[in-house]
Structure 1
Amino acid sequence: MKYRITLLLILIGFSALADNGYRLWLKYDLLPVGVKAIYAKQIKSIHIVAASPTIRAAEQELKTAISGLVGHQISEQARLTDGTILLVKSSDLKKYNLSIADVPENPEGYLVKTTAISGKKIILITSKTDIGVLYGSFAFIKQLQLQQEIEKLNVKSEPKIRNRILNHWDNLDRTVERGYAGFSLWNWQTLPGYIDQRYIDYARANASVGINGTVLNNVNANALILTKDWLLKVKALADAFRPYGIKVYLTARFSAPIEIGGLKTADPLDKEVINWWKEKADEIYKVIPDFGGYLVKANSEGQPGPQNYNRNHADGANMLAKSLAPHGGIVMWRAFVYDNKVPDDRAKQAYNEFKPLDGNFDENVIIQVKNGAIDFQPREPFHPLFGAMPNTSTMLEFQLTQEYLGMSTNLVYLATLFKETLGADTYAKGQGSTVAKVINGSLYGNKNSAIAGVANIGNDVNWCGHPFAQSNWYAFGKLAWNDESPATLIADEWLKMTFRTDFATIKKLNEMMMKSRETVVDYMTPLGLHHIMGWDHHYGPGPWIKDKPRADWTSVYYHQADKNGIGFNRTNTGSNALAQYFPAVAEKFSNLNTCPEEYLLWFHHLPWNYKLKSGNNLWDGMVKRYYKGAAEVKQMQATWDSCEKQIDPVIYRQVKQLLAIQYDEAVWWRNACVLYFQSKSGLPIPSGLAKPEHDLAYYEKLEFKFVPGI
């Protein structure tokens, strides 16, 4: 009886240890009895060759995963037996009389294969490099997590993009610009002496999806990060990340030679400035031999840059690039620039500044281009710079943190947005010249290739604030590795590894995730509307925003709604921004018969009675989109409620409450925008739709203090 009571207390104790989301998709909980029994017969031991810190990390991950998933310990054995997992670089395969023909040429690629050596059936995980073996180990673990058969494994994979990087907009005081999941992961006060376990788990999570770089500090940079004491802190993180194949990068403040170097200028053509940056690079690489390089935001939103000295972006980027080149470093120079003194469509300015410089950048410079020409809007057409610079490496910048997509209170699966951009056809070299081919270097044969995601990670226990926001970190890594991966398959993997629930629940949640981004677009910015959010903090609707220091910081600049119509005319009768696209794209978007309606008001100013494909006029169709979006959040709530018995109770309650917030915010967006645009159109809300609870003045007077991310 005493034994039974003790066992009961133990079980109660374990049930109380509910899932807090910390483990992300790396959950190694015991598999169903039948599945684990099969795996237990197939996995017996592990054997490594030429152990390195990375191979040891792979070994430890496999041991931890198999212990948790299968329920038995595996040990390292000196000899191969049936059921051995062999971790080996391809250069050592000849020791086992194995062919290396199937091993990917890419140094980060891997092969996971069931094969035989001397009559012993083993599981081979191999690559040209140690980090490839680690990636292959995570791929094998995923097979187990997804409960897939391992009897006849033959999994081969390699990345299409060389540099797959997270950009952390983390400040040195641990605040995070546009961060909605707590403070920065990097506790600079306790570095370099204390290495938090979170740093290791961060590296594990990134390695599991193939992310191989991290920019530690905000693009609005503080030059202190480049001083000796801070570089030692950076070194500690670099050392912790190195076994997981992750290089560290820093955002370099262009005026650092003045601020921390004591020079009177930061002119990129000044000999003293050039030498200062050269010596700084030498200093960094002595401390961090595999330092990745710099990310630079220059001459944008008040940040210093080469234009302060009547130089151009190539002058600034190349000066830094030359300091890094002897060490193998790169410069990622952001194309997010716009000038209040330029009386032109903001969407045109990055192209206007960078296109003329094509071919002038050094080989180790990569121009980092946001997915769209404005600023991470819920939906944007692809940036016209993609494909427009054949002689310059360009990389894509996505935003995982949901600055314009409800921050951390809204459930928005962004893989559909990522796929939309990556699959967009630039027509740079005819049909099939996708954005993905531009950034992976295959379209023009560019040597360097890269992709960046502005991180949604903070020190919240579940890393990303919203449990479902973790899926966007996961999806970014998967698509950075292989842009052809279907968004629905990525969601399916993430759900199965994160929630470990039944097939019917996974199916329902997958469908909800796949619709979620379109839902948010509908209740925020339907039919190509953009940049109509709240002032400065960007929280909530603000289509009435006007009279700010810059016209392009207002909403009225973009929607241009009046009694006659709405939308931004970017055709040849307006700003002519469409001329920046290749002719086939420009023609498609210019023609109202072929312009997709999701971009309609992005490119056209149209009368309220313009007829949509649905048969509705523009006013009725737009209003119905707003109402449809809010209604779909209500459906998301119903879907989640139906999953209560299949989801961990803590996670269930958290998402349930966040969906309630999201519904309130969707109704708020709907009501505020419909009432504001009604004040311009003078038209009635279509019959059958509920009237807003408050009048327009109520929504315009709402104020918000201390919104996260400022």
Structure 2
Amino acid sequence: MRPVLLLLASLGLAAAENGIDAWLRYAALPCDVRKSASVPARIVALNGTQTSPVYTAGQELHKGIQGILHKDLPVTNTSVNGSSITIGTVNAFASTGHVLPELDLTGDGFWLSIKNDSVQIAGQNERGALYGTFQYLSMLAQGNFTEVTYESNPSAPIRWVNQWDNMDDTGTHGSIERGYAGPSIFFAEGLIVEDLTRVSQYARLMASIGLNGIIVNNVNANVNLLNSTNMAGLGRIADAMRPWGVRMGISLNFDSPRTLGKLTTADPLDQGVIEWWDDIATKLHGHVPDFAGVLVKANSESQPGPLTYNRTLADGANLFARAIKPHGDAIVMFRAFVYDNTINETNWKADRANAAVDFFRDLDGKFDDNVIVQIKYGPIDFQVREPVSPLFAHLEQTGTVIELQVTQEYLGQQCHLVYLPPLWKTILNFDMKVDGQPSLVRDIVSGERFNQKLAGYAAVVNVGTDKSWLGSHLAMSNFYAYGRLAWNPTSDDVAILEDWTRLTFGSDRTIIDTITKMSMESWPAHENYTGNLGIQSLTDITGPHYGPKPQSQDGNGWGQWTRADAKSIGMDRTVWNGTGYSGQYPPEVASMFENIESTPDDLLLWFHHVPYTQQLKSGKTVIQHFYDAHYDGAAVAQTFPEQWKAVKGLVDAERYDEVAFRLEYQAGHALVWRDAINDFYFNMSSIKDEQGRVGNHPWRIEAEDMTLDGYTIIRVDPFETASGFHAIRTTSNTTAGTATAKLDERFEAGTYDIAVNYFDVKGGRASYELFLNGKSLGTWLGNHEDKLGYTASPYPDGHSATRIYFRGVEAAKGDVLKIVGQPDGGEQAPLDYVSVLPSGTID
């Protein structure tokens, strides 16, 4: 049962915030609430060692209560009588004479008791005591002073973060693969950074949501992480995170014995290789006594691995497991992301989705007991919707970790609001029905279903040097929710979101309702305007995974295929006629996916190749659903900027403006997605939209149809990412161009919103100015590479396409629009079109 929350009055305008404190702001409650709030008189932390999580908990309580209630409580490490908040392990409570009830705590579990003037927080271990402390502070920060007594145990022992940070040899900080929040907080110029302040702050955020481990470097690991200087640096990282109960691990490059050790082989059964890794493990343990373990990516995406030497994947994993075994309880997380990226699409039976089960199912029971297999939630790669990876049903004797992704690699790269927990819960709540028994994925990865001691969660997280941590304030809800769901996957995703909102932005009901509504609408909307019916995210899979490019899905060896042609679309993954993928599931699930009639429409094109005219359960055809869904999803995205306006003045100006900018950008980019996908499939199928929208834009003025001076017309590649398939750019890299158009009979006198679609390409910061009848309506810069963390493109395409609005403009037939574009460097002020929209009209 959720405790009753005290309703708080609005705090009014807040001081500017940059997001660095995330949900740990400890913002002061209203004055009347603070005065009436009762908390114990002192804080007792039953461990005085400064590296202890219990000591840390005491300091955090002091800071939190001072911020929330403006009360300066003394902190002691010695048990005292009277009113106090006491924190410690169960054993520490017992040793100081505190009598606790009989508890059933496991792992990092905690017991929290708030009663009268006494608060007791007891952990099964020191991490648990710290987690209980953060839970108590979360209650206070939300104005919740309910008396409670309860136990809380984590669902799984492994609750980790995977950073994809690189040890680049040049640059102030290392880059982050699929990172959209600036460079690394861990690495600079091929070394561990000297100042680890942000690392310690990061560990604090992790601890506050119950995360207990981190892999600090990219799975595409740099061998130089293992040199002596960097091993010492890893020890400093571990020291910075240890007071927060976060254990550090690293990714290893399988080929290190050759590339770093100068051996002639990396064969996992070669004695020299075994001894080399044994030595590395000993040195690592010397620098990091509580070393968490290693993450290994092998034989994937052209990387070497045990298969290179005709050994099994289990041989490779066990090599590392045996090297670290003598040094404590460190583990090996071996990624199941193993596949051939050069498969032949002309082979109807070929299917990348089959790879994980094909490679791993015969290895169950052959891994050492400190090996755990890390499995992406779906069989491809973090798509907007995938079926559950069937590998979860095949490893009954091997611990498994589910790999989720907080970094929105395929889902808008933190430039689009996409609240991910509803997606994750479709996976975690799916019943695999192994042996005909209930087998929810969440029970498999908790270790409960197959009685595994090692199991849990790992999430790819793109924390960088940006003050907002992920590059987007709203995206932090995904990081917060990941920790909450890893602790308890049955938690309600809306309740989690509301807690995060209160902690991050405040308790005003308008703020909570606005962010909740937008966030809960965001994943369905994104799925609709990117790729629906299970077709995957129709992005550029051979490029930056950001903007629309459906043709990139086919004609390559990567295996993320749609098999689209003029008549039909979808992968046939049936046993009777296709790749056989559906047969990888237990029989009851396999039977559901094998048949079109029982396959859910939202996964139809994942499992079946059908004509565009195939009728769905809704009665629509596949192609009409495509058209409608893309319009519906883009329409929802248009509402986000307007919804956000409701919180103006309730949220501090700095964060309000930064969120408003991203939501406005998303609204424009959603239209690019809508038009690109619909135009592509209309062009391919020649089937018209029943509502006459696709290819029909009555309020647009194409840039190529304007009167041009200093501009030239270009074809855009891919064609569908430009309206009318063409755009314009200046004829010179230095001289301005103008594009002019007279409003025709479509435009009666009235109030319009004028939108300019242009391409903000990487390589310069072009400037623009829009005029109406010679009067300037405004200027802007092509500088998204400075404001968005996405993978910028040097070309006019679906990645760089964007728009800007000038709202409430009085205009009429005969008025003259003019755009002046000043190129800068490689950015030749490219323009696509202008929309002159009657107020309230969606282009």
Smaller-chain TM-score bracket: over 0.9
Give 3-state SS (helix, strand or coil) of 1:467's partner.
Answer: coil
Query: 2:551 is matched with which residue: 538, 544, 559?
Result: 544
The question of whether the paired residues in 1 share the 8 Å contact of 2:13 and 2:652 is answered with: no
Q: Are the structure 2 counterparts of residues 48 and 585 from structure 1 closer, same or farther at C-alpha, using a change threshold of 3 Å? A: same
CA distance in 1, matches of 2:213, 2:371: 16
Q: Which moved more, 1:508-517 or 1:451-460?
A: 508-517
The question of whether the paired residues in 2 share the 8 Å contact of 1:191 and 1:236 is answered with: no
Amino-acid identity (%): 36
Q: Are the structure 2 counterparts of residues 194 and 70 from structure 1 closer, same or farther at C-alpha, using a change threshold of 3 Å? A: same
Match runs of 1:351-390 below 5 Å: 351-390=357-396
Which residue is equivalent to 1:64? 63
Q: Which moved more, 1:126-135 or 1:206-215?
A: 126-135
Which residue is equivalent to 2:138? 142
Which residue is equivalent to 1:576? 580
Give 3-state SS (helix, strand or coil) of 1:262's partner.
Answer: coil
CA distance in 1, matches of 2:93, 2:127: 16
CA distance in 2, matches of 1:47, 1:191: 39
CA distance in 2, matches of 1:193, 1:428: 47
Which residue is equivalent to 2:426? 420
CA distance in 2, matches of 1:662, 1:305: 40
Q: Which amino acid aligns with 1:134?
A: L
CA distance in 1, matches of 2:534, 2:308: 35
Q: Could you list the per-position Cα deviations for residues 386-445 of structure 1 after superposition, in whole angstroms to 9, with x for gaps in the alignment?
A: 121111111110111111001021011111111111111111143420111111111111
Say if 2:638 is the partner of 1:634: yes
Q: Which moved more, 1:23-32 or 1:420-429?
A: 420-429
Give 3-state SS (helix, strand or coil) of 1:124's partner.
Answer: strand
> Any stretches of 5+ residues in structure 1 without a counterpart?
1-13
Deviation at 1:511, TM superposition (A): 2.1
CA distance in 1, matches of 2:366, 2:623: 47
Say if 2:615 is the partner of 1:611: yes
Match runs of 1:628-707 below 5 Å: 628-687=632-691, 689=693, 691=696, 697=719, 699=721, 705=762
Which residue is equivalent to 1:47? 44
The question of whether the paired residues in 2 share the 8 Å contact of 1:104 and 1:110 is answered with: no
Which residue is equivalent to 1:506? 512
CA distance in 2, matches of 1:286, 1:95: 32
Deviation at 1:95, TM superposition (A): 5.2
Which residue is equivalent to 2:256? 256
Q: Could you list the per-position Cα deviations for residues 512-564 of structure 1 after superposition, in whole angstroms to 9, with x for gaps in the alignment?
A: 2112111100000111111521232112011122786x4326xxx62222222
CA distance in 1, matches of 2:129, 2:487: 15
CA distance in 1, matches of 2:190, 2:149: 45
Query: 2:151 is matched with which residue: 124, 149, 156?
Result: 156
Deviation at 1:252, TM superposition (A): 0.6
Q: Which amino acid aligns with 1:532?
A: L
The question of whether the paired residues in 2 share the 8 Å contact of 1:87 and 1:126 is answered with: yes
Say if 2:224 is the partner of 1:219: no
Q: Which moved more, 1:333-342 or 1:264-273?
A: 333-342
CA distance in 2, matches of 1:625, 1:421: 22
The question of whether the paired residues in 2 share the 8 Å contact of 1:104 and 1:157 is answered with: no
Q: Could you list the per-position Cα deviations for residues 270-320 of structure 1 after superposition, in whole angstroms to 9, with x for gaps in the alignment?
A: 001011111110111011111111100101011111111111101110111
Q: Are the structure 2 counterparts of residues 342 and 353 from structure 1 closer, same or farther at C-alpha, using a change threshold of 3 Å? A: farther
Say if 2:164 is the partner of 1:169: yes
Q: Could you list the per-position Cα deviations for residues 331-360 of structure 1 after superposition, in whole angstroms to 9, with x for gaps in the alignment?
A: 111111111455520100111011111111
Query: 2:474 is matched with which residue: 468, 472, 476?
Result: 468
The question of whether the paired residues in 1 share the 8 Å contact of 2:406 and 2:479 is answered with: yes
CA distance in 2, matches of 1:66, 1:331: 40
Query: 1:411 is matched with which residue: 404, 409, 417?
Result: 417
CA distance in 2, matches of 1:437, 1:408: 30
CA distance in 1, matches of 2:487, 2:143: 23
The question of whether the paired residues in 2 share the 8 Å contact of 1:215 and 1:250 is answered with: yes
CA distance in 1, matches of 2:155, 2:554: 46
Q: Are the structure 2 counterparts of residues 591 and 122 from structure 1 closer, same or farther at C-alpha, using a change threshold of 3 Å? A: same
Which residue is equivalent to 2:565? 562
Deviation at 1:621, TM superposition (A): 1.4
TM-score, structure 1 as length reference = 0.93
Larger Rg: 2
Which residue is equivalent to 2:23? 25
CA distance in 1, matches of 2:407, 2:552: 23
CA distance in 2, matches of 1:542, 1:528: 16
The question of whether the paired residues in 2 share the 8 Å contact of 1:181 and 1:465 is answered with: yes
The question of whether the paired residues in 2 share the 8 Å contact of 1:531 and 1:558 is answered with: no
> Any stretches of 5+ residues in structure 2 without a counterpart?
1-11, 169-173, 345-349, 703-715, 728-758, 764-784, 793-843
Give 3-state SS (helix, strand or coil) of 2:549's partner.
Answer: coil
The question of whether the paired residues in 1 share the 8 Å contact of 2:25 and 2:504 is answered with: yes
Q: Are the structure 2 counterparts of residues 494 and 45 from structure 1 closer, same or farther at C-alpha, using a change threshold of 3 Å? A: same
**Structure ranking higher in helix proportion:** 1
Which residue is equivalent to 2:334? 333
Give 3-state SS (helix, strand or coil) of 2:558's partner.
Answer: helix
Give 3-state SS (helix, strand or coil) of 2:687's partner.
Answer: coil
Q: Are the structure 2 counterparts of residues 699 and 107 from structure 1 closer, same or farther at C-alpha, using a change threshold of 3 Å? A: closer
Which residue is equivalent to 1:108? 108
CA distance in 1, matches of 2:361, 2:343: 17
The question of whether the paired residues in 1 share the 8 Å contact of 2:535 and 2:570 is answered with: yes
The question of whether the paired residues in 2 share the 8 Å contact of 1:294 and 1:330 is answered with: yes
CA distance in 1, matches of 2:627, 2:13: 47
CA distance in 2, matches of 1:92, 1:396: 34
Q: Are the structure 2 counterparts of residues 179 and 193 from structure 1 closer, same or farther at C-alpha, using a change threshold of 3 Å? A: closer
Q: Could you list the per-position Cα deviations for residues 209-228 of structure 1 after superposition, in whole angstroms to 9, with x for gaps in the alignment?
A: 01111101101111111111
Which residue is equivalent to 1:10? none
State the superposition RMSD in angstroms: 2.2
CA distance in 2, matches of 1:94, 1:673: 64
TM-score, structure 2 as length reference = 0.78
